[in-house]
Chains A and B, each alone.
Chain A
Amino acid sequence: MRITIRPNVNDDTEDFDYLFGLLHQVKDRPSELELNFSKCVFLRQNAVAFLGGFIRLAQTFAQVKVSVNQHGKIHFGDEKVRKNLERNGFLKTLGLPCGEADSGNSISYREDRTRQQDAFTHYLREDWLGRGWVHVTDTLKSFIISPMLEAYINVFDHADSLIGVVSCGQHYPIRKELKLTLIDFGVGIPFTVREYLKKPDMKASDALQWAFQPGATTKIGPLTRGLGLKELKRFVKTNQGKLEIYSDRGYVCIDHTREDFRDRITQFKGTVVQITLNCDEQLYTTDNEFDTDESWF
């Protein structure tokens, strides 16, 4: 089976539909799969992360080949795409032919089959926030990193993802945006919520909305409940960023103007968490950063 990656894969909902559609194309689990990039001229970080995860997933059931020409080089529709995939380490990580390149505006493509929170913390601190694209104090970095780490840990606690989590990011200097996308190919948040609540017919958008309520978690045990999604929401609203989640048929988009929970036609039985930070340093504060109340309890 041969799949030719289309020329442009951006990070709008329609682009995600295209990416999710690739999984449907291989649902019969072909024994051989060829990915051809010869028409591809533009890939955003979400597409890089998704395609990396897609290849890893396909490798569990198929012999996967990425098209190379007679000189052993992958032929891309545009040299910029090859350079980008070289810069973010995608080609190297997947064992594909590549040269050495500086990282440019790329935040590395990364695969975590198992939970490595210290290494991932370093990735967020240094590769994502430590490149001078946003000017924040070390303590504020910690605040931003924490809920992203929770999203990462949730994959290993809840998602049952065969390939763990893949991530990739990009700085867009003209748009003054810093994006990071985390993707797992597990069961999806709505599945976990439905199982926990024993509500098999619950709509995906309702399940996602439930997951954002204060106190809601599907983790069973004697502990109080998670705050990760709520903290992430608070942060992006205050800082005029954007948080998007695709899971099953559910889609969430949260920014400072809206909280949009929707059901979509396209299904992805995994979870995409995509955060867009606004690089305007004036927006980097928390709502009550300097609370000094001494009575904790």
Chain B
Amino acid sequence: MMTHLKVREIIGENCITSDDGQKIYDLVHPEMQAQHPVELDFSEVKIFASPFLNAAIGQLLRDTPPDDLNSYLKINNLLPVMRPVLKRVIENAKAYYGDEKNRQAVDEALNNKAAEE
């Protein structure tokens, strides 16, 4: 049976902070670990910011394989203009959490770039 989470009812119409994103993550993550389907319904949510999306969704990639997320997590009714932003959040998270080596490489690359400059 699919769990339906209406983000508007849990957070409100403005989804901005990582604290609020963490609340969503805390609800979704155990279901993903148990391979239970979840629908994340963004209807009536008007504002998104990347700290929220990073915490709520990007963070799932730390220990959940992308295939599992595609299978068990449905993201519905996201504003069309925010779709590219969520895409970039996911790509960013995939690169960062992809594996420990990659994560260290991203950290090092950013630090080295700073050192070169």
Interfacial residues, chain A to chain B (CB-CB below 8 A): 117-118, 121, 125, 138-140, 142-143, 145-147, 149-150, 153, 193, 197, 199, 202-203, 206-207, 209-210, 213-216, 222-228, 230-231, 286-293, 295-297
CA distance A138 to B90 in the complex (A): 24
- Nearest-CB residue, chain A, relative to B89: A227
- Collect the chain A residues with CB atoms within 8 Å of residue B73's CB: 296-297
Interfacial residues, chain B to chain A (CB-CB below 8 A): 12, 14, 16-18, 46-51, 54-55, 58-59, 61-62, 66-67, 69-70, 73, 75, 79-90, 92-97, 106, 110-111, 113-115, 117
Question: Of A202, A225, A292, A295, which is within 8 A of B92 by CB?
Answer: A225
**Inter-chain contact A291/B84, CB cutoff 8 Å:** yes
Q: Do A153 and B16 form a contact, CB below 8 Å, given A138-B46, A224-B89?
A: yes
**Inter-chain contact A215/B92, CB cutoff 8 Å:** yes
- Nearest-CB residue, chain B, relative to A148: B49
- Collect the chain A residues with CB atoms within 8 Å of residue B82's CB: 142-143, 146
* A–B Cβ pairs within 8 angstroms, 29 of them: A121-B14, A121-B16, A121-B47, A142-B47, A142-B79, A142-B81, A143-B79, A147-B49, A149-B16, A150-B51, A153-B16, A153-B49, A207-B114, A210-B117, A215-B92, A215-B96, A216-B110, A222-B59, A224-B54, A224-B89, A224-B96, A226-B50, A231-B85, A287-B84, A288-B84, A293-B87, A296-B70, A296-B75, A297-B67
In whole Å, how far is B23's beta carbon from the nearest beta carbon of chain A?
A: 14
**Inter-chain contact A289/B80, CB cutoff 8 Å:** yes
- Collect the chain B residues with CB atoms within 8 Å of residue A138's CB: 46
**Inter-chain contact A224/B93, CB cutoff 8 Å:** yes
- Collect the chain A residues with CB atoms within 8 Å of residue B50's CB: 146, 150, 226-228, 231
Question: Of A117, A206, A207, A223, which is within 8 A of B58 by CB?
Answer: A223
CA distance A214 to B49 in the complex (A): 15
In whole Å, how far is B76's beta carbon from the nearest beta carbon of chain A?
A: 11
- Nearest-CB residue, chain A, relative to B107: A215
In whole Å, how far is A151's beta carbon from the nearest beta carbon of chain B?
A: 10
**Inter-chain contact A139/B79, CB cutoff 8 Å:** yes
- Collect the chain A residues with CB atoms within 8 Å of residue B17's CB: 117, 153
- Nearest-CB residue, chain B, relative to A221: B18
Nearest 7 interchain pairs by C-beta: A206-B117, A297-B66, A143-B81, A227-B50, A297-B69, A224-B58, A224-B93
**Inter-chain contact A225/B49, CB cutoff 8 Å:** no
- Collect the chain B residues with CB atoms within 8 Å of residue A121's CB: 14, 16, 47
- Collect the chain A residues with CB atoms within 8 Å of residue B117's CB: 202-203, 206, 209-210
**Inter-chain contact B113/A210, CB cutoff 8 Å:** yes
Question: Of A142, A153, A297, which is within 8 A of B46 by CB?
Answer: A142
- Collect the chain B residues with CB atoms within 8 Å of residue A203's CB: 117
- Nearest-CB residue, chain B, relative to A124: B47
CA distance A290 to B67 in the complex (A): 24
- Collect the chain A residues with CB atoms within 8 Å of residue B84's CB: 286-289, 291
- Nearest-CB residue, chain A, relative to B69: A297
- Nearest-CB residue, chain A, relative to B21: A223
**Inter-chain contact B51/A153, CB cutoff 8 Å:** yes
Question: Of B16, B86, B114, which is within 8 A of A199 by CB?
Answer: B114
In whole Å, how far is A205's beta carbon from the nearest beta carbon of chain B?
A: 9
- Collect the chain A residues with CB atoms within 8 Å of residue B18's CB: 223
In whole Å, how far is A79's beta carbon from the nearest beta carbon of chain B?
A: 39
- Collect the chain A residues with CB atoms within 8 Å of residue B89's CB: 224, 227
In whole Å, how far is B10's beta carbon from the nearest beta carbon of chain A?
A: 15
Q: Do A202 and B62 form a contact, CB below 8 Å, given A153-B51, A225-B96, A286-B84?
A: no
CA distance A152 to B79 in the complex (A): 22
- Collect the chain A residues with CB atoms within 8 Å of residue B94's CB: 297
**Inter-chain contact A296/B86, CB cutoff 8 Å:** yes
